[in-house]
Amino acid sequence: MTRTKWIECGVGVFVLAGFLGLVFLGLQVSGLNLSRANDTFTLHANFSNVGGLKERSRVTVAGVTVGHVTNIDLDSKWLDGRVTMQIDDSLQGKLSSDSTAAILTSGLLGEQYIGLSTGGAPDNLKDGDTIRDTQSALVLENLIQQFVSNMSK
């Protein structure tokens, strides 16, 4: 092979490595993964404001990802945001019925996710149950509005 052919092959390998790196970073930022789906169970939670929460957002317990959001819609009875989550089956029977769900923000990009905190009740959440104790997302615009209205008084 001539010298120019080696340079062309090297450039091709470099471009391919760059493309694969971009795909990897895109998967990391979006929260998608290529791994096989584990067995899961479903939990629901109602929030007065879901903020920027999106489908496929992660669900954590003690900072460890244990599931993801599968659906966000409007509860027609209470006019709240109803969030459906798929939780890893290994937690079934371990989350107490008084567990709490909060919409939290992390990272520089402001990714929102759901953080679950366990309670101490003797009963446990089962497949299809609804978490009653929730904390909605903090919306920056609402905080600024409250600050400005308090300053004007």
pLDDT digits (tens, 9 = 90+) for 127-140: 888 888 888 877 76
Q: What is the structure's pLDDT at 115?
A: 92
pLDDT confidence of residue 32: 60
pLDDT at residue number 119? 83
Q: What is the pTM of this model?
A: 0.69
pLDDT attached to residue 149: 82
pLDDT attached to residue 6: 87
**Token digits of residue 152:** 């004007």
In this prediction, residue 124 carries a pLDDT of 87
Q: Quick one: which of 33, 91, 36, 26 has its CA closest to 64?
A: 91
Q: Break the chain into its structural domains and give their ranges.
A: 1-35, 40-139
One pLDDT digit (tens) per residue for the chain, 153 residues: 788 888 888 888 999 999 999 888 877 776 565 555 568 899 999 998 888 889 988 899 988 999 999 999 998 888 889 999 999 988 888 888 889 999 988 865 678 899 999 988 888 888 888 888 888 877 767 778 888 888 877
**HEC profile of 8-20:** HHHHHHHHHHHHH
